[in-house]
Amino acid sequence: MRSALDCPRERVELRFEIDLDGVPLYQAELPPTGLAGDGPSRVYERFALPAGRHVLDLRLRDSRRSEGFDHVAREAVEFAAGESVAVDFRGGEGFIIR
């Protein structure tokens, strides 16, 4: 008989932060989805921001480390009046703003 292996499927809780022009805009601990805690973490938040040029600082921790971030990006963006913008993250590509 084979010995039992402990092979947990749970993903770690994500830490996600957004700063707009150097001012904290959003901070969250995002648990994984799914019955076994092995699904992707998701968040939907809506922010009404002034039109114009802004700097977004994006930070994501997706490991078991207790401090710091695994993924960091700084993006200059131009918001038009009435425009909708989404921020996504993909492991091989990093942050995607569209």
| Per-residue pLDDT tens digits for 45-96 | 999 999 999 999 999 999 999 999 999 999 999 999 999 999 999 988 999 9
pLDDT for 22 = 98
Domain boundaries, the chain: 14-97
Smallest CA-to-CA distance from 97 within 81, 73, 80 is with: 73
Contacts of 77 (CB under 8 A, 6+ apart): 53, 54, 55, 56, 85, 97
Can you tell me which residue has the tokens 């770690």? 12
Provide the residue type at 2 as one letter: R
